[in-house]
Amino acid sequence: MGLEIIDHDGARGIDIAPISARITLPVLMEGSESTSIRNGADHLFIDDGPQRIKVIIEQALTNLTLVADDFSQDSKAQALSWLACRDHAHQFAMGIAFQRLSLLNAHNDRAKVDAMLASLRERILRFATDCSSHDIAIFRHDRGFYLLAETLRDRHKWNWMAEEIVTMLHDNSLLDDSAVSIGAQIALASRKESETPEQLLGRLDAGMDGLFGDVSVLIKWVDRGSDLPPPREANLENDLARAIDREEIIVRFQPQFAMANGHLTGVEALARWQHPELGELGAATLFAVAGRAEMVQPVSDYIQRKALQHAAAWPEALSDVRLSVNLTAQDLAIPGFADSMIETVHSSGFDAARLTVEITETALISDLKRASRLCEKLRETHMRVAIDDFGTGYSSLLYLKSLPLDYLKIDGAISRDIEGSPRDQTIVRSIIALGLALDLEVIAEGVENVAQRDHLAEEGCHYYQGFLGGEALDNADFITFAMRAN
């Protein structure tokens, strides 16, 4: 495939070296405010009506960016480099091969497939990092993704993660506007002593080749001497039914800080599941299992009560620290939930005026009028209401329009874009400006460094939370941290 740059009537053309990916390059226009770009079978066409296009070829070639499926950094070479610079003694690798990628390519244009793959990549990585504290990375290959982990010592957990990813990728609602699921088969391996990264990925590639065409096998270990997954008796849905009684579900508190002076102003209660076999699992995994086990509401109720119990016993010196707890769509759908929540807060002894309830924007609320009345009732007791993970969910603007809110929380994936491209920065600024225009206080999640914090503060953001301020802490550690901070 070559790249040809032409003027509007096709009279001129310049062929640039053959490429195997789409190309992004700077185009300077004479007297033009907009440019449309369309893809041909073998060429990229840039049209500008009657205007002549002026392309600075040297600058174009200097800034040429290959964006193979929008994953310029996600390649086998990058995966090999990642493996090579880490301790190989406890590395695990997963080769995810999509079953219906060709079907998606046949029925969708390139940009849409790229967007779908980017979404899948983000979903898989979020899941993997949520259920493991180990160093994890994901890289593209020609059939799907490599998922790699360092210092993961549990073969059972790696197999379970593969099972969850297969289930995820066979969900036909995962891809927007797609009637089919992409499906996947997964090859698993652990790196052997003295094995090179090339040999490890070579075994994975061979394993994926062996799975191709055999729909009866979705997951296969390709370790020497054992192609079978490890035996495991645990069933997560059954495990969860006992987890509350065993107090395996714990609450951690992530600090929130004022942009203006850096003072600790609040915390968000975050759930973790201390599974006896799989180790610590994050909230996303916990609630995914709870959804399958039809236990979302009891798990949510337990977390809310536990967080309030801890917060009510905080020292007097922390009496100005706010607590945020999450409400699920299932919570909002329960008749009488507002009264129940008010009673729970009252019986805990925690001051309702210091409590914020967060409604995640990724939850699909079926009855917004009911949810609005519920929020109003909670606000009558001086609780505050926040929309969480703003910018990543189903109906952002509709939720802002319909629900009585006090806070807008920007999802970390969006907040971090304040250091991204001009387009990314514009989106972040627009979200903050929208919150300010609606008289909402804006909280940025996922802030990782001083530069991000300062840029967000300049745009008018009020508070932040994330790695820069502090990780989620158990109750005792949070009290120690907060007493020192304030």
pLDDT at residue number 52 = 33
367-380: pLDDT as tens digits: 888 889 999 999 99
Distance CA 290, CA 41 (A): 47
Band (pLDDT 50/70/90 cuts) for residue 89 is: low
Band (pLDDT 50/70/90 cuts) for residue 2 is: very low
Same domain, 377 and 428: yes
Dig out the tokens for 86 from the structure.
């880490």
Average pLDDT over residues 421-425: 86
pLDDT at residue number 88 = 66
> How many domains does the chain contain in total?
3
pTM for the full predicted model: 0.63
Q: Work out whether the CA dihedral 414, 418, 424, 428 comes out positive or negative.
A: positive
Q: What percent of the chain has pLDDT over 70?
A: 77
Average pLDDT over residues 283-309: 90
Distance CA 169, CA 183 (A): 5
Number of residues assigned to the chain: 486
Q: Does any domain span residue 226? A: no
Q: Does any domain span residue 152? A: yes
Average pLDDT over residues 133-149: 88
Q: With 60 as the cut, is the pLDDT of residue 271 above it?
A: yes
User: Among 8-17, 402-411, 469-478, which stretch is predicted with the lowest mean pLDDT?
Assistant: 8-17
Same domain, 76 and 38: no
Distance CA 103, CA 181 (A): 10
Q: Which residues contact 259 (CB under 8 A, 6 or more apart)?
A: 453, 456, 457, 461, 462, 463, 464
Q: With 90 as the cut, is the pLDDT of residue 280 above it?
A: no
Q: Does any domain span residue 229? A: no
Same domain, 327 and 471: yes
Q: Does any domain span residue 19? A: yes
Domain that holds residue 470: 236-485
Q: Does any domain span residue 127? A: yes
Same domain, 40 and 59: yes
Residue ending a domain, among 221, 244, 275, is 221
Same domain, 443 and 349: yes
Q: What percent of the chain has pLDDT over 90?
A: 38
User: Among 256-265, 347-356, 413-422, which stretch is predicted with the lowest mean pLDDT?
Assistant: 413-422
Q: Which of 10-14, 281-285, 326-330 reaches the highest mean pLDDT?
A: 326-330
